[in-house]
Structure 1
Amino acid sequence: MAAIAGAAVLVAGAGTAGRSAARHLVGLGADVTVVDARFGEETDDELAAAGVGQISIDALLAGTTRLDAFALVIVSPGFAPSHPLITQLRTAGLPVWGEVELAWRIDRAGLLGPPRTWLVVTGTNGKTTTTSMLADIVAGAGRAAVACGNIGLPALDAMAGQPRVDVLCVELSSFQLFWAPSVAPEAGVVLNVAEDHLDWHGSFDAYAQAKATALRGAVGVVGLDDPVASALPVLGRRVGFTLGDPRPGELGVRDGMLVDLAFGPGGTARDLVEASAIHPPGPSGVADALAAASLALAAGLTPREVGAGLRVFRPAAHRGEVVATVAGVEYVDDSKATNPHAAHAAILGHRRAVLIAGGLLKGAAVDDMIRDTRDRLAGVVAIGRDRELIVEAIARHAPEVPTVTVFTGDDGRVTVQYASATPETDRNADFPATIPAHSMPPRAADEPAHAVMTRAVEVAAHLAACAEDRPDTVLLAPAAASLDMFGGYASRGDAFADAARALPDARSAGGSSR
């Protein structure tokens, strides 16, 4: 890579990725300026103390700074290629890299020690669980590994940490992959590809092509049960995984065992772990485990090491976590299911469930999700800005499913409306139509949202108790983003967990009665 020391570098975005890039560029001797929308009205003291220049996007677009003064631009993943700032920078002929591309080039150049092993995970859904599984498997085998990238820790920070990490288990979003065209990992996987972020990429094909960047290394792993992922081009060795019986060159499930037919000597079948031991349980959890196992085996781990890591793995909060049990019904927080594809997989992980869903659908349709899971739904409680879109989809594809909306009205009271087939009127007597939001425990700015979630959980519990075919789960799998009501999916999941644990006779996941 070109010399960084003494070069003038522009970093677009002062979020986590941009700040990480700026810090490391300064450490390598670059002259760094950060451009961000909020600069001009305010100054970032931490960046200023590090000697980093600051300029607003408006000022840069207005031409107050000469673009030809910069040798390189590092762009944060939130900047779409169609953003006016990016358009202007590219028109000026400047090279534009993402912070992952910068990390890759720094690593390949040996600027932070010998190059690491990169194992890359991407897909519309399941990225974080798969990356976490992979990091636990590799670390459990005694190799210095860390989960980084889109999972929270920037790759540059992971490489600079002490003690040294030799294996980077890198979760990458489509945004990060778009801005990292040179990355060619030891092994990479595309789990699945469904409609998401089309406003950023401009088309579904462009989104899928960005995901395919993960398959440009020595081993490319694809989810064979996903029609889009399975058709993506692989530059190196192609490996597939499936929930069915695997063929040569694949991993899959046979007689209740996760089996490898890709990496054994002569293609021999090797048992890895019982499917029943995988957490989170269900098809999506097993698929993520097969993907993680594929990357770990590609990196040289043994089947015994892979099986041991998967057997002890437990998902992080908000990803299929059982937060309470009430009268034999588990309350499951899958708040991270922020699009219909993820929620669809979450529902299929349970025999029968009352679903709490809704929020910001971002233009995504829920019709396929409702149609394909109707036999598993004992009821639906719809919340959030796009709740009526969920109600309409149920009316089209599953009108027999009891459906309720819960929302805050103009008077500040939490309102319950029965939208479709419901239990008998006398069973609804325990649930008056409205309750004052101020009757809920105070929660500062999130109070109305928590009041809605509390009421939604109460209604879901009622639907579960009234269902003829008793559900085993009340499931928060929103199929939508959370920012219409909450500060993030974690806050939404916490509100669900608090409400579930406050139900009469609830027992927390640890087994204690509340």
Structure 2
Amino acid sequence: MSEAAGRLDALTDCDADWAGLDVVVAGLAVSGFAAADALLQRGARLVVLDGREGAAEQERAEILRIMGADVRLGDDATTSLPGRPDLVVTSPGWRPEQPVLAAAAAAGIPVWGEVELAWRMRPAHGGPPWLTLTGTNGKTTTVRMLASMLEAAGLKAAAVGNVGTPILHAVLSEQPLDVLAVELSSFQLHWLGPDRARSVAPLASAVLNVAPDHLDWHGSLEAYTRDKGEVYERTEVACVYNVQDPRTEQLVRDADVTDGCRAIGFTLGTPSVGMVGVVDDVLADRAFVEERRTSAAELGTLDDVQGDSPVLAPHQVSNALAAAALARAAGVPPAAVRNGLRGFRPDPHRIAHVATVDGVTWVDDSKATNPPAAAASLAAFEHVVWVAGGLLKGADVDDLVRVHAPRLRAAVLIGRDRDQIARAIARHAPDVPVVEVDPSETGLMDDVVRRAAGLAHPGDTVLLAPAAASMDQFRDYAQRGEEFAAAVHRFTRSRQGE
């Protein structure tokens, strides 16, 4: 073992000897800045790189320079690895073939993601356990449900990671936490992969579902799936999988876990022993009760899951069951699971009721940014005027349209890749009317709403579930949803003024 490798192996907590370590931090977004800040405060020597040089990057760069970092911005900054550092810490979105990271790999220099760094920055004693989860869809909703359950049990908890708050912020917080609910993306999990010196060991972990996504980054569905499975590695108490998604159970079988760790399934059907599921309208636990062969614990009802939502979507029930299984693995009592569900409020733009006008319900699910998410949304409604389109990023929509064609009253298509959706509808639902709204038109969403209203019948739902990213026409999915809702409200006022 080299001296550098031995030193890295000794970095197991925030009080270890980080001083003088030569580190390149790749990326100066939120997680990269958090990593650089934590390392600088412990005496590491840093070079920080980012190809962007906008206002946000310049502001962060100035702060890090004051702290002693060498910060390099712009296209030229990321074309080669500076020197021979002891370690490279990468932001999750950087691809493995990026020149800096490829050079590090070729030179045998360890590359850690922010997740590995955060784990190694935990307190030497008394650090909060991690409950980790991933999935193609539903991650943020589920991790926030989980945090709500933990808090209902009286625990100091935080939802961190891909949900928006860097894990490092929680790990190094001056206000100690009892447990972390950690959302992990496939990008973050890639950098925990099998060829790395991984030390992360969650108390419990879950994969909600696996469907094709980000294949341009991972290269194949197999590689994407394999990266998702990294969430299970070294789990101590429970690996939670989706009974309706066999890929997730296989990932549990393939994982190297701590002796005694259990596989816990969640299902929309009646749970078998070792599962959580649904009996009539009750969420039932047959995994974390002593007499699980003959009895179950009630964790809540379907009404608790639905809350103020306009519809009880099947994927919301799945999310609640997965969160409940993770909470139960951490010792949360059934009453706290129920109270957590009752106190949970979904983030905006997730099957959000906007208005009901002349018997037509308008729903904003702008967060449905890929075909699997749109499929889950469409499945919640019987008759739909579907508002879809944007940047498909190479995703295939044929299966989405074929499966849900019987639900479609009509479709109103927007965005750069709307033609691809139109062709899929022509193949699989040729009788469904399709309206394409030119992206160059001003008042885009007003036109969308007006056309959708003309196609909808009383009892229908006009559903914004784009199946695509938004950046071709909007800042992000939130702006897309906000503009849709605002246009619906303008339409409502105009109808009321008639």
Shift of 1:322: 1.2
Shift of 1:221: 0.5
Q: 2:207 aligns with which of 179, 190, 198?
A: 190
Partner of 2:115: 100
CA distance in structure 2 between the partners assigned to 1:60 and 1:380 by the alignment: 45
Partner of 1:405: 436
For residues 341-376 of structure 1, the C-alpha deviation after alignment (integer angstroms, 9 at most, x for no partner) is: 000001111222211110000111111111111222
SS in 1 for 2:72: strand
Q: Does 1:221 align with 2:240?
A: yes
User: Within 5 Å, which residues of 2 pair with 1:69-84?
Assistant: 70-84=85-99
CA distance in structure 1 between the partners assigned to 2:202 and 2:283 by the alignment: 24
Partner of 1:277: 304
Contact 1:324-1:506 at 8 Å conserved across structures: no
Q: Which ranges in structure 2 are unaligned for 5 or more consecutive residues?
A: 1-9, 12-16
Q: 1:362 aligns with which of 387, 390, 393?
A: 393
CA distance in structure 1 between the partners assigned to 2:181 and 2:19 by the alignment: 28
Contact 2:51-2:77 at 8 Å conserved across structures: no
Shift of 1:31: 1.3
Contact 1:357-1:380 at 8 Å conserved across structures: yes
Shift of 1:504: 2.9
CA distance in structure 2 between the partners assigned to 1:296 and 1:144 by the alignment: 13
For residues 432-459 of structure 1, the C-alpha deviation after alignment (integer angstroms, 9 at most, x for no partner) is: xxxxx2xxxxxxxxxxxxx212211221
Shift of 1:71: 1.1
Partner of 1:323: 354
Q: 2:290 aligns with which of 254, 257, 265?
A: 265
Provide closer, same or farther for how the CA distance between residues 5 and 346 of structure 1 changes in structure 2, counting only shifts above 3 A: same
Partner of 1:36: 50
Q: Does 1:168 align with 2:183?
A: no
Contact 2:278-2:284 at 8 Å conserved across structures: yes
SS in 1 for 2:231: helix
CA distance in structure 2 between the partners assigned to 1:172 and 1:506 by the alignment: 44
Shift of 1:57: 7.2
Q: 2:190 aligns with which of 174, 178, 188?
A: 178
SS in 1 for 2:396: coil
Contact 2:81-2:99 at 8 Å conserved across structures: no
CA distance in structure 1 between the partners assigned to 2:102 and 2:54 by the alignment: 21
Contact 1:327-1:505 at 8 Å conserved across structures: no
Partner of 1:452: 444
SS in 2 for 1:94: coil
State the TM-score, normalized to the length of structure 1: 0.86
Q: Does 1:6 align with 2:25?
A: no
User: Within 5 Å, which residues of 2 pair with 1:284-299?
Assistant: 284-299=315-330
Contact 2:414-2:437 at 8 Å conserved across structures: yes
Aligned length: 462
Shift of 1:317: 0.5
Partner of 2:7: none
State the TM-score, normalized to the length of structure 2: 0.88
**Paired AA for residue 391 in structure 2:** L
Contact 1:119-1:170 at 8 Å conserved across structures: yes
For residues 137-163 of structure 1, the C-alpha deviation after alignment (integer angstroms, 9 at most, x for no partner) is: 111211000111000000001222342
Provide closer, same or farther for how the CA distance between residues 40 and 488 of structure 1 changes in structure 2, counting only shifts above 3 A: closer
SS in 2 for 1:407: coil
Provide closer, same or farther for how the CA distance between residues 152 and 64 of structure 1 changes in structure 2, counting only shifts above 3 A: closer
Partner of 2:333: 302
Provide closer, same or farther for how the CA distance between residues 57 and 90 of structure 1 changes in structure 2, counting only shifts above 3 A: farther
User: Within 5 Å, which residues of 2 pair with 1:103-502?
Assistant: 103-107=118-122, 110=123, 114-181=126-193, 182=198, 183-216=200-233, 217-218=235-236, 219-233=238-252, 234=255, 235=257, 236-267=261-292, 268-279=295-306, 280=309, 281-409=312-440, 414=441, 437=442, 451-464=443-456, 467=457, 470-502=458-490
Partner of 2:62: 45
The percentage of aligned residue pairs carrying the same residue is 47
Please identify, of 282-291 and 263-272, the stretch whose mean Cα deviation from structure 2 is larger.
263-272
Which consecutive aligned stretches of 4+ in structure 1 deviate over 4 angstroms post-superposition? Answer: 39-43, 56-64
